[in-house]
Amino acid sequence: MKQAVWKSDWFVSLIITLIFLFFIQSDFIQSIERDAYDFGVQSSSRTASDKIAIIAIDDESIANIGRWPWSRNMHAQMHELLTDGGAKAIGQTVLFTEPQLDPGLAFIQELKTTFENSRIATISEHAEEIYQIKEYLSSAEITLDSDKTLAESMQQTGNVVLAMPFVLGEPIGRPDQALPEYVQRNKLPENNIIDDPTNNPDGWRPLPMVEALSPIPAIGEAALNIGSLVSVLDVDGGIRSEPLIVDYYGNLYPSVALILAAKSLNLDISDIKVTVSSDVQLGRLTIKTDEESQMKTFFYNSNGYESAFQIDSFYDVIQGKVPASKYKDKIVLIGATAFGVGNTMVTPIDPAMSPVITLAHSVSSILNEDFFIEPAWSSYAQLSGLLLVALYLMLLLPRMGAAAGFIVTIFLFTAFFVTHYILMTTQGMWVQLMSPSLLLVAGHILLTTKRYLLTERGKARLDIESAESNRMLGLSMQGQGQLDMAFEKFRKLPADKSALELIYNLALDYERKRQFNKAKSVYDYISDHDANFRDIKTRSNRATAMDETVMLGGGSGSSPGGTLMLDDGSIEKPMLGRYQIEKELGKGAMGAVYLGKDPKISRVVAIKTMALSQEFEDDELEEVKERFFREAETAGRLNHPNIVTIFDAGDEHDLAYIAMEYLKGSDLVKYIKKDKLLPVTKVLSLIQQTADGLGYAHGFNVVHRDVKPANIMWDPETDIVKVTDFGIARITDSSKTKTGMVLGTPSYMSPEQLAGKKVEGQSDLFSLGVMLFQMVTGQLPFVGDSMAALMYKIANEAHPNPNSINPDLPRCVSVIINRALQKDIEKRYQTGKQMADDIAKCLRIIAAENKA
């Protein structure tokens, strides 16, 4: 019989290819391409330019100079020091977009004016003393006017290039006001812009900007040049490109990296030329760009423990520990690398790179002509790869055996990957060949799966429907817990000894499920055929008695769900679903937790029960049950070493249960008391693991909603943390039960959670911040005499400084807590990975301080 077209392998392969092409621009596939790109960058080896040096505003500088931001007099002093040392140009990444007003400046100016206008100033016999007072007031005015001091230093040095942030967007109409003249003088001359329709038929332009944050006039006018500073995030949030030219309402402005590279070559803005959608020329250098004038930056790998660039501490330079002559004829970049100062960037070689270091990579890429390009034929190569894979899946793979097909698939996959690798590492070319590789793998798996479903399973089905089909089906249904259907199949068998043995075991299964009335019916059926079969008389009488006894789920229990009545050897061990109950581990707010075992695979599990029917009204019960299984399914898909694994969920006799990984150790509740606090480094390690687990779950849009010490398990022997009870708070979102019990823990809730707003991953990170505060201080950050007072404090009042409670607490721990407990979600950690990375950095700082 001829196979239908829609079942044929070539047709299935065609459908797979078309579906894949439809999703080829999805974030998932494009992220895989970027991961391969990052691997190519990490595998490429080139030497960074030695003309670049970095002066870092690091943790050491802040610890010695004082809290950030510093007085601009400090920057003026640094500029003058570097200029005296012979620096060719200074790239300042600190933004001066707002005046720095010293509170005493206005007072001194008013005092000076009052004095000059008073009669005291005209007394001739005290002229010398009056002159000294005027000089003192003028000196104080100059000292306190840090903006003026910085501007004067920049005018004297004449080599400071400022960074000016632009806001990406498609402009509509004209700007509210023109950029200041001191900014406009940095735009590219019209004669330096080549926009040939022949080479640019699609009319590409550099990235459009809708807003710019100019430096204040006093400082901007004193700068040698001002360059654009724009961070363009890729689909996965990483930084891989540098916009060398941006378009602000028709005027093109070069980037600060491009201007600094020009200064290194003794060139000016007039020496920068751009061919739109093709390249940027800087003197004799040609930097290939994409259609929007972006350069794919080369990120230089560190040499062992040494950075690719020369990096010195701001404090060491200003104190003279590092001689200024070290920077002779160099481009010196000044910027923040300190923990908690500014945002870090995700790059191919570092998930938390400071902006000043990113800028150094861009400047070096320009000077060394080290950059990656996506050749014009890249899209054709990608399309050819997809076509080759599609033809292979449609025409060749269906004709091969399993082993041969596997070998050819592996060969093609390796060929794509090796080609991508060689082009990246030797030619600096990026060709997107991961999408053909993904199509190859997905198509191979789906076709082999389809083959199995239509052949192997077809044979199995024919075997089941042959001789003794009722016996086999009955056993299968019994194994799946469908005992009633299994009994129907077994009753069709001849009532010989082997059949009665099957039915007797079925009665034991009914006992395990506490369905004693049905067990008695089965025993009566056996008795009708053999009244002396084994011990059916005793078991029949016991089943009758047990049917009249309240077991699990009784309303008279002392805890929701009652207490499981364990056997004394006279009946089979109780079952929940397919799990055999061994013993009770403890009781919670809505049910008990039992130690269970899956008899088929001997897996030991912990079973959490919830008597939903006792705690929720009938009109809410169905909705809560649906939510229970939906959340259990979502949590069950999470696979992370710091999240408890969920194996199964079900309900039986209105008792819902979740079977999960059985954990050793205990929760963290006993470590939040002042006399039992763990060392700070150990607390940070536990919180870091928790943040990793939460961050992973948030990546799948799964929010815990009830992060607290009781839901974090820790095994000191393995030092592994596990987050438990994912989704339980969401399951009971309605939030009041029949007994009036409010679910959730208000002390750990975020402001948005208390306000009933939409809860996302940042809410869990707020709760984790509360935990961190409590585990390093021994008390909660927010307490109140009543629920209303507590909720008000969480929503409106700032938490106390952790160092005021624990003076020995390292500064970086307070920084992490302060960011985690921000009321404004945007200022809070956005991902668990961000928080975990900051904790890792804090642990390194603590380790370094302990060694010092």
**Omega before 709 cis (within 30°)?**
no
Alpha-carbon distances of 274 from 182, 294, 469, 520, rounded to whole Å: 22, 11, 79, 90
Q: Which residues pair with 272 in a beta bridge?
A: 282
Helix or strand (DSSP H, E) at 248: strand 245-248
Q: In 348-495, at which residue ranges do the beta strands (DSSP E only) sit?
A: 371-372
What sign has the CA pseudo-torsion 632, 634, 637, 638? negative
Residue carrying the six token digits 């960037």: 345
First to last CA, the chain: 82
User: What is the spatial distance between Cα 319 and Cα 332, in angstroms, rounded to a whole number?
Assistant: 17
Q: Which residues pair with 691 in a beta bridge?
A: none
User: What is the spatial distance between Cα 291 and Cα 710, in angstroms, rounded to a whole number?
Assistant: 54
CA atoms within 13 A on the CB side of 300: 27
427: nearest Cα among 357, 385, 353, 377: 377
Could you count the other beta carbons within 10 Å of the beta carbon of residue 570?
9
Helix or strand (DSSP H, E) at 714: strand 712-715
Burial of 496 (0-12, 13-18, 19+ CB in 10 A): exposed
Which tokens is 499 given? Answer: 């059949």
User: What is the spatial distance between Cα 715 and Cα 309, in angstroms, rounded to a whole number?
Assistant: 42
Q: Which residues pair with 280 in a beta bridge?
A: 274, 287
Contact 69, 139 (CB under 8 A): no
708: nearest Cα among 683, 662, 675, 672: 672
Q: Which of 38, 147, 509, 706 is catalytic?
A: 706
Contact 792, 825 (CB under 8 A): no
- Collapsing DSSP to helix, strand or coil, 255 comes out as strand
User: What is the spatial distance between Cα 683 and Cα 802, in angstroms, rounded to a whole number?
Assistant: 14
Give the list of residues 6+ apart from residue 746 with CB closer than 8 angstroms, or none.
754, 787, 790, 791, 794
CA 832 to chain CA mean position, Å:
5
For this structure, is 618 an active site residue? no
User: What is the spatial distance between Cα 580 and Cα 328, in angstroms, rounded to a whole number?
Assistant: 77
CA 751 to chain CA mean position, Å:
21
Give the list of residues 6+ apart from residue 236 with CB closer than 8 angstroms, or none.
27, 30, 31, 34, 35, 346
Which tokens is 768 given? Answer: 């984790």
Q: In 533-664, at which residue ranges do the beta strands (DSSP E only) sit?
A: 575-576, 579-587, 592-598, 603-610, 646-652, 655-661
Give the list of residues 6+ apart from residue 706 with CB closer than 8 angstroms, or none.
725, 728, 729, 744, 745, 748, 767
What sign has the CA pseudo-torsion 630, 634, 636, 642? negative
User: What is the spatial distance between Cα 827 and Cα 813, in angstroms, rounded to a whole number?
Assistant: 17
- Collapsing DSSP to helix, strand or coil, 213 comes out as coil
DSSP string, 167-227: EE----S--SSPPPHHHHTTSPPGGGEE--TTT-TT---SEEEEEE-PPPHHHHTT-SEEE
Q: Which residues pair with 225 in a beta bridge?
A: 161
Query: What is the side-by-side strand order in the sheet with 646-652?
Result: 575-576, 579-587, 592-598, 603-610, 655-661, 646-652
Residues labelled as active-site residues: 706
